[in-house]
Structure 1
Amino acid sequence: MVLEGVAISNLTRNIRELSDNRGNFSILCSPGDSLELRADGWNTVGEVAEDLPDTILLTRTRIQLDQVIVFGRSGNSTLQNLKNIAEENNKKNGIYYQGKPPIALLSPFGGKPITFFYELLSKHGKHARKMSQTIAKGKNDEKVDEFFNVDLIQSIVPLSNAEVNEFMDKFRPHYEQVRAWTSYDSHVYIKNSYAAYTAQQRDKK
């Protein structure tokens, strides 16, 4: 089957495109550029531009629901709710190091090797690590959203509601880019990205 809407990112140049309804895509790249193909429900694939095959295969991710979380309307942020849930689960399941036990627990002098292997190998330890990763990713996404969101973008460049979604999908920066940004950096990035976006739109006509 072919996949429509796969996000193809040139990580080297920070450019993004989407595959069409036939699974085809085109993206600006040079030999040696790192490409990433990402779609919900499918494993992410990395490729090097100079070695691209004619057909790129994506495999389905394994779906496993350990827990379903429903948030009500409260003053706490989603991230804070996740932290609270993680802390409660870890306490209930005897997880004290978020599934990442220190090597010192293996010491023959006062160590706790049983705790070490329980944290490392048990399903509760694995779940704790997943929750930690989810929370960390959420923090990173919040940081990106601070400098790259609909209201801010539309206050800087003339994009319609329909256009801004495509723009954000193609040019959303990575956390590594924005973690040291100021408002000025964000404005410059949005303006430069808008120039690239309008150039791409002209090329399509």
Structure 2
Amino acid sequence: MSTALFSSNAVAQKLLNITGVTFQKASQSRVSQVVINNSTRKTLSKSDDLGVFRIQAAVGDTLFFTKNQYTTQALVVLNDNLLSVYLQPIVTLDEVNITDKSTRQELASALSEYRKKTPFSSLHPGVAASIFSPISGISNLFGKTANRARRFEAYSKRELEQVEIEKRYNKAVIKKIVDIPDEDMTAFMMAFTPSYDQIRVWADYDIIKYVQTSYAYFQKNKESLKPQKLY
């Protein structure tokens, strides 16, 4: 019985010459310089410029495939058949440099002109306290026309919130996540632009998931979601 057990272990531990090719997921593009780590044997290899790799492993060994900007892939060796390994690129969403300076500068300028004509000591406490917060300052500044000031404040708030949304949710970001035709972009964004309250708490993963889910729905309901032409 001990002889049979030894023989079984010897077969299980037989090293195989594992070969394969590393690809980018959802394409036939080959990925070079992928590090292959046999975590069971503590050995390393690397795919060549054509994505081809070779490494020794036994049945049951776990191979980890890693490269910067790709999600690590793990495979358990079952046999010595040629392996095709598909790596998922990591999507990173760069914040677009959309500035809100012009809006803030216009509001600050209005306060500045008011301060030039009014001694600082005579400023209403609410105005003096809001020199560095122009939007609320405008509301205090024009207290006699409170309704107009409140409308202006609400408008300014919406404008600045829209700037923050567009920094993280824009055409460039959407195209990085899904393959959307240019002619569908406007309709998609009109139907599925998130709110400021959503975007300010979302991580990149949340934006990616939102775009993917929304676009899947958009593709199924495209015609009903497109803006209707008015004649």
The bucket for the TM-score relative to the shorter chain is 0.3 to 0.5
TM-score (norm 2): 0.41
TM-score (norm 1): 0.45
Greater percentage in strand: 2
Greater Rg by CA:
2
